[in-house]
Amino acid sequence: MLSSDEERPQAEERPQPAAGVPAENAGRARARLGVAMFGVLLAAYAVNAMDRMVFPVLLPDVRAEYGFGLGAAGLQSTMFALGMGVTGIPAGLLVARMRRRDVVVLGTVLFSAATLLTVVSAGFADMLVWRLLSGVGEALQLTAIIAIAASAFARHRGAAVGSVNMAFAAGSVIGPALGGYLLSQYGTWRAPMVAFGVLGLVLAVAVVLAVRRWFTEAASPVGEQVTQVGGASRLLSRNPMVLAAVTVLFGLADFGFIGMYASYLREQLGYSSGQAGLVVGVSGLAAFASIVGGHLVDRIDPRTAVAGFQILGALAAVALFVGSDALWWQSVWSFLFGLFASAGSYVALAGCLVKSVDLRNAGRAAGLFVTAIYVPAGFAGYLFSLLATLSNWQAAGLIQLGALSLIGAALTLLLRPQDFSRPVPPSAAVTEHLETGS
């Protein structure tokens, strides 16, 4: 266990350069090794995404066996979001006190065990508990991985966070496809759940064996002669709180789209289920561009990055709900909304939140992001439905996806870019420390 003030990396755990090997070459070797270990963490997160995204595909079979009504089935499908939302901030506190690698392993084991226990559920109540716990496990895992990315890749935090979202995109594509295949091969919805649960446990073991603590607990970028300065020393400071507020608004907009856009296509525009699935599916493909969005976040002002993606998302929402009903139009703008939301705002908000605090609080900031986005997710679909009932589908889309995004963009004017943390050479860090007395 670590206190929040203890230095994370253990000197004896860091690989030391061999005699005669230039420090620059040794740093590059450590960086390559760090990227490989980060890949193992991303693989574990991708399995998490596979489990989360396959369950809605299996839900009709689950309903048929247990006799769940539509509402009960929908609750089972989205209960993970509540688990993630309520666990985010506590997970950030846990990351500050435990080894980050251990939190990743704990989260991976928890969601894998919950996945396996789902297949032996006696009924509605215990299955709901397992789905809730799967969200708790994902929150632990995601919070720790974002904290690791923020510390180990300080020069490229946005790109590192983008790669986390890209791993989720990969899992969200593989999960339903592989799950559907296993369902058809074995004739039971339990087969994919068992397969993904076991795979998650295997990845947890892989993290223990392959990922070293000098990487996950790094206090400076791995393989680089830089350190970090600046950033708020408390989560309740101006920049973290502004970004948390924008994240809440983004969560309502993004999960409103995820939860209700397909219904809008079918009920309002008269699309078939296949057409609606195609249009919604292309929005998910945009998440594969997350690393590109992350690179932009690393290179431009935080206000410009967050506000820009929020405004572009609002424009895409207007095009979706006011523009043509044609399949090609909806497909293009669905992709663009996914691009600006998943590869843009999600990555920008997560990356900027961890950049808004100092290194000691990176885990807490990651936990705040998880809570800020997933608690609203639990209410986003209901809010959209309420707005559509009180007015109409178009108005609901313009308000929840368009107006909330523009409000989020306006809030970024309150950010102070000079207060964000940034990587600098060690000599510059010493100079700044002497000048500021911090």
Question: Is residue 79 a contact partner of residue 62, using CB atoms and an 8 Å limit?
Answer: no
Q: Could you tell me if 54 and 148 lie in one domain? A: yes
Provide the percentage of residues in the chain whose pLDDT is more than 90: 48
pLDDT for 70: 66
Label residue 206 by pLDDT band (50, 70, 90): very high
Question: Is residue 129 a contact partner of residue 268, using CB atoms and an 8 Å limit?
Answer: no
Q: Could you tell me if 151 and 114 lie in one domain? A: yes
Label residue 416 by pLDDT band (50, 70, 90): very high
Domain boundary pick from 186, 217, 248: 217
Evaluate if residue 225 carries a pLDDT over 80.
no
> Taking the CB of residue 403, how many other CB atoms lie within 10 A of it?
15
Q: Which of 84, 169, 153 is nearest to 362 (CA)?
A: 153
- d(CA 195, CA 116) in angstroms, rounded, equals 9
Amino acid residing at 334: S
Q: What angle do CA 181, 184, 190 make, to 5 degrees?
A: 90
Q: Could you tell me if 213 and 319 lie in one domain? A: no
Q: Which of 321-330, 331-340, 426-435 has the lowest mean pLDDT?
A: 426-435
Please give the model's pTM, rounded to 2 decimal places.
0.81
Range of the domain at 372: 224-438
Evaluate if residue 434 carries a pLDDT over 70.
no
Q: Could you tell me if 235 and 163 lie in one domain? A: no
Amino acid residing at 98: M
Label residue 25 by pLDDT band (50, 70, 90): low
Burial of 63 (0-12, 13-18, 19+ CB in 10 A): middle
Q: Could you tell me if 262 and 184 lie in one domain? A: no
Domain boundary pick from 152, 186, 217: 217
Question: 424 by DSSP, 3-state: which?
Answer: strand
Phi then psi for residue 424, to 5 deg, are -140, 160
Q: Could you tell me if 210 and 233 lie in one domain? A: no
Q: Which of 88, 87, 98 is nearest to 3 (CA)?
A: 98
Domain with residue 418: its CATH number is 1.20.1250.20
Label residue 348 by pLDDT band (50, 70, 90): very high
* Number of domains into which the chain is organized: 2
- Mean pLDDT value of segment 9-34: 59
Q: Could you tell me if 387 and 313 lie in one domain? A: yes
Q: Is residue 101 part of a domain?
A: yes
Q: Could you tell me if 123 and 260 lie in one domain? A: no
Q: What is the average pLDDT value for the chain, to the nearest integer?
A: 85
Provide the percentage of residues in the chain whose pLDDT is more than 70: 88
Evaluate if residue 20 carries a pLDDT over 70.
no
Label residue 8 by pLDDT band (50, 70, 90): very low
- Mean pLDDT value of segment 246-271: 90
Q: Could you tell me if 238 and 138 lie in one domain? A: no
pLDDT tens, 337-346? 999 999 999 9
**DSSP structure string for 120-178:** T--SHHHHHHHHHHHHHHHHHHHHHHHHHHHHHTGGGHHHHHHHHHHHHHHHHHHHHHH
Question: Is residue 48 a contact partner of residue 108, using CB atoms and an 8 Å limit?
Answer: yes
pLDDT for 113: 96
CA dihedral 228, 233, 239, 241 (to 10 degrees): 140
- Mean pLDDT value of segment 185-206: 94
Domain boundary pick from 163, 197, 217: 217
Q: Is residue 9 part of a domain?
A: no
pLDDT tens, 362-396? 889 999 999 999 998 878 888 888 898 899 999 99
- Stronger pLDDT, 31 or 192, i.e. the higher one: 192
Evaluate if residue 224 carries a pLDDT over 60.
no
Q: Which of 230-239, 335-344, 409-418 has the lowest mean pLDDT?
A: 230-239
Question: Is residue 146 a contact partner of residue 158, using CB atoms and an 8 Å limit?
Answer: no
Evaluate if residue 210 carries a pLDDT over 90.
yes
Q: Is residue 117 part of a domain?
A: yes
Q: Could you tell me if 277 and 163 lie in one domain? A: no
Q: Is residue 14 part of a domain?
A: no
Partners of 228 in beta bridges: 423
pLDDT for 296: 87
Q: Which of 217, 395, 383, 423 is nearest to 321 (CA)?
A: 395
Question: Is residue 143 a contact partner of residue 372, using CB atoms and an 8 Å limit?
Answer: no
Q: Is residue 390 part of a domain?
A: yes
Evaluate if residue 303 carries a pLDDT over 90.
yes
Q: Is residue 3 part of a domain?
A: no
Token match 């089972």: residue? 76
Partners of 423 in beta bridges: 228
pLDDT for 258: 83
Residues comprising the chain, all counted: 438
**DSSP structure string for 11-27:** GGGSPPPPTT--HHHHH
Evaluate if residue 88 carries a pLDDT over 50.
yes
Q: Could you tell me if 399 and 426 lie in one domain? A: yes
pLDDT tens, 135-180? 999 999 999 999 898 888 877 878 888 899 899 889 888 888 888 8
Q: Which of 33, 48, 161 is nearest to 104 (CA)?
A: 48
Q: Is residue 23 part of a domain?
A: no
Q: Is residue 13 part of a domain?
A: no
Q: Could you tell me if 142 and 229 lie in one domain? A: no
Question: 357 by DSSP, 3-state: which?
Answer: strand
